[in-house]
Amino acid sequence: MKRALYFLCVTLCAQQKQIAITIDDLPCVGCRDLADARAVTGKLLGNLKGTPAIGFVNEIQLQTQGERDARIALLEQWIEAGKTLGNHTYSHPDANKVSLDEYTDDIVRGEVVTKQLMARRGVRNLYFRHPFTHTGPTREYKEGLDRFLASRGYTIAPFTVENEDYAWALVYRGTTDEAVRERVRREYIAHLDLVLAHMAKVSVELLGREIPQILIIHANSLNADVMPQMLEMFRNRGYHVVSLEQAMTDKAYAAPDTWVGKFGPSWL
Ligand SMILES: [Zn+2]
């Protein structure tokens, strides 16, 4: 069955544009409390039913007094829904502001629960996403970090499409005015549509073809609410949602990332 699906995908996926959905700051960023985090998790996973996605965890979020098990249960829901979990460090440090030693310590501290959960699937090596998408301010820092991640079996998760969703989410959760919230949902998707069209163009200009796109968004109430519209927009643009693993089988992602700087621009 798996083999048949694989060949089906080789045939179909090669003809279709692809996009992978990666979601940072799990279990939930900007949630008021546990009830809110549960609601966002439930809605996000419900709307992503049957769609591949990977979530990147900040385990510091599991440390709320008396709520550790309940918050781990939110991550278990991702595993039960067939999604992948990766490490996004423990406390979300900025590589531009902490030493490499502090940063790598935070990575180790951030993998404890996530590794256990993925082990249930027989997966030992995790994906890693840099907080703020900052990959290290100097060549020495970045190369040291890359070596550290490789030595612990990590695969770095790149991204190509970033839509400043955190700014939209801030407005969205800051108001109870349904007219404003409806406008934010609508304009956020329209904005993402423009960004995706732009990155498709950049890919073709740079590589002569469109490589599988990798979207970076966050585990917040806005994305939970608009996910059906987002998936519809991808379909309308001819994209097939694939796993990060599938997207990264494209040979473009085997090219070394030699860019060094304070900011983490799109992989493209
Ligand atoms: Zn983050």
pLDDT for 102-123, tens place per residue? 999 999 999 999 999 999 999 9
User: How much distance in Å is there from the Cα of 251 to the middle of ligand 1?
Assistant: 26
Yes or no: say if 84 and 57 are a contact pair by the CB < 8 Å rule. Answer: no
User: How much distance in Å is there from the Cα of 132 to the middle of ligand 1?
Assistant: 6
Looking at residue 265, its pLDDT comes to 74
User: How much distance in Å is there from the Cα of 15 to the middle of ligand 1?
Assistant: 32
Angle between helices 34-47 and 221-236 (to 10 degrees): 10
Sequence-separated (6 or more) residues with CB below 8 Å from residue 258 = none
Indicate the CATH number for domain 18-250.
3.20.20.370
User: How much distance in Å is there from the Cα of 166 to the middle of ligand 1?
Assistant: 10
Whether 98 shows a pLDDT value over 70: the answer reads: yes
Percent of the chain whose pLDDT exceeds 90: 87
User: How much distance in Å is there from the Cα of 24 to the middle of ligand 1?
Assistant: 5
Question: Rounded mean pLDDT of 195-215?
Answer: 97
Looking at residue 261, its pLDDT comes to 81
User: How much distance in Å is there from the Cα of 210 to the middle of ligand 1?
Assistant: 26
DSSP character string of 201-235: HHHHHHHSSPPPEEEEEESSHHHHHHHHHHHHHHH
Sketch the domain layout of the chain as residue ranges. 18-250
User: How much distance in Å is there from the Cα of 182 to the middle of ligand 1?
Assistant: 25
User: How much distance in Å is there from the Cα of 58 to the middle of ligand 1?
Assistant: 8
Output the pTM of the full model.
0.93
User: How much distance in Å is there from the Cα of 93 to the middle of ligand 1?
Assistant: 9
